[in-house]
C-alpha cells in the first residue's frame, strides 16, 4: 500500500509554529511506516479566500495531480503531536469508508453531554443541519482512499465552502458540515480514539482531570492539542522523546 501523510498549515505564522512544535513528530512517524509526507502551506482550492476556508482544504487533498498515486491519504491537523510508538493508522480503516474518530466519547458520551450538550445540539448550530446522532466526528484526523472518495469530497466542498464566509461557527463550520455528510451518507468508519486523542477534553473534564499530560501521551498515539491547549509544553516532549 502506498500512503501519504499530509498536513495543512496555511499562513506563515501557523506554518512556523507547526514547524517548531509538531512537524518533527510527523516526519518521524511517516518515515517509520514508509509513508510519503507532504505539508500544504497554500490553498489547494482558492474558490473562497477566507480564513474559515483553510480547514476545508483538508477535503481537497484527494483531488490533485499527486493524489491518485496513493491508496490512502492520511490528513491530520497541524496541532497534533505523534507518539513515536504509534502503529500505522491506515491499517485500522475498514472497507471503502473514511476513517475518523468520534470525539463524543472522549472521555465519555454521558460526561460530554453533561458539560457541552448533545451531538444533536452541536450539529444544529449550523442552520439547516439536523442529525439524529450521539457522535461528533472530529475532522482533525481523516484517512481517505482517493480513488474512492475524491468525487464525494469535492461535492461536499462545493456544497458548503461558501457558507463559511457567513457562519459564526469558525472552524467548527467545516467539522459540522463534513461530519454531517459523513454520517448521513454512511461514508465513515470509526478508528480508535488513540489516533485523535483530544488533550483539552481530558484536561478539563472532571472525571479525567487528574490524568497528567505525560500519562495521556503514553496512553495514546496522536495527541491533539486543539485550541492551543498547553502548546508551551510540547517542547518538553520534543526533547524527551524525539531528540
pLDDT attached to residue 146: 98
Cis ω for the linkage preceding 162 (within 30 of 0): no
pLDDT attached to residue 177: 98
pLDDT attached to residue 210: 82
Judged on CB neighbours under 10 Å (0-12, 13-18, 19+), 150 is: buried
pLDDT attached to residue 205: 83
CA distance 225 to 199: 6
pLDDT attached to residue 47: 84
pLDDT attached to residue 27: 98
Give which of 43, 90, 78, 79 is closest to 63, Cα–Cα. Answer: 43
pTM for this entry: 0.96
CATH (one of 3.40.710.10, 3.30.565.60, 3.90.1010.10, 3.90.550.10) for 3-101+139-167+188-242? 3.90.550.10
CA distance 114 to 107: 12
Asked if residue 182 lies in contact with residue 98, where contact means CB atoms within 8 angstroms, the answer is yes
pLDDT attached to residue 213: 93
Beta strands in 103-233 (DSSP E): 137-144, 188-190, 197-198, 222-224
pLDDT attached to residue 201: 92
Judged on CB neighbours under 10 Å (0-12, 13-18, 19+), 58 is: buried
CA distance 14 to 9: 6
Give which of 193, 195, 156, 155 is closest to 173, Cα–Cα. Answer: 156
Judged on CB neighbours under 10 Å (0-12, 13-18, 19+), 240 is: exposed
Is the C-alpha dihedral spanning 165, 169, 174, 178 positive or negative?
Answer: negative
pLDDT averages per 10-residue partition of the chain, 243 residues: 97 96 98 98 89 92 95 98 97 97 94 93 95 98 98 97 91 96 98 97 80 93 96 94 88
The domain locations on the chain are 3-101+139-167+188-242
- Pull the grid cell for residue 83: 507518539
* SS3 call for 128: coil
Q: What is the 3-state secondary structure (H, E, C) of 51-101?
A: HHHCHHHHHHCCCCCCHHHCCEEEEECCCEEECCCCCCHHHHCCCCCEEEE
pLDDT attached to residue 171: 86
Beta strands in the chain (DSSP E): 3-8, 36-40, 72-76, 80-82, 98-102, 137-144, 188-190, 197-198, 222-224
DSSP 8-state symbol, 209: T
Amino acid at each position: 500500500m502506498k500512503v501519504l501523510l499530509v498536513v495543512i498549515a496555511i499562513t506563515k505564522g501557523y506554518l512556523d509554529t507547526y514547524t517548531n512544535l509538531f512537524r518533527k513528530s510527523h516526519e518521524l512517524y511517516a518515515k517509520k511506516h514508509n509513508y510519503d509526507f507532504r505539508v500544504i502551506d497554500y490553498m489547494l482550492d482558492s474558490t473562497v479566500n477566507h480564513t474559515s476556508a483553510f480547514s476545508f482544504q483538508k477535503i481537497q487533498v484527494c483531488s490533485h495531480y499527486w493524489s491518485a498515486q496513493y491508496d490512502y491519504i492520511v490528513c491530520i491537523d497541524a496541532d497534533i503531536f505523534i507518539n513515536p510508538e504509534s502503529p500505522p493508522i491506515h491499517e485500522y480503516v475498514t472497507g471503502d469508508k473514511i476513517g475518523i474518530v468520534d470525539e463524543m466519547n472522549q472521555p465519555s458520551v454521558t460526561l460530554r453531554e453533561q458539560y457541552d450538550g448533545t451531538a444533536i445540539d452541536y450539529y444544529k448550530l449550523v442552520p439547516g443541519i439536523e442529525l439524529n446522532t450521539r457522535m461528533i466526528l472530529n475532522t482533525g484526523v481523516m484517512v481517505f482512499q482517493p480513488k474512492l472518495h475524491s468525487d464525494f469530497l469535492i461535492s461536499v466542498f462545493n456544497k458548503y465552502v461558501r457558507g463559511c464566509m457567513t457562519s459564526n461557527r469558525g472552524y467548527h463550520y467545516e467539522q459540522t458540515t463534513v461530519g454531517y455528510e459523513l454520517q448521513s451518507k454512511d461514508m465513515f468508519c470509526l478508528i480508535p480514539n488513540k489516533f485523535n486523542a483530544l488533550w483539552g477534553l481530558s484536561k478539563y473534564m472532571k472525571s479525567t482531570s487528574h490524568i497528567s499530560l505525560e500519562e495521556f501521551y503514553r496512553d495514546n498515539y496522536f495527541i491533539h492539542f486543539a485550541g492551543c491547549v498547553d502548546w508551551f509544553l510540547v517542547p518538553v516532549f520534543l526533547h524527551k522523546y524525539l531528540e
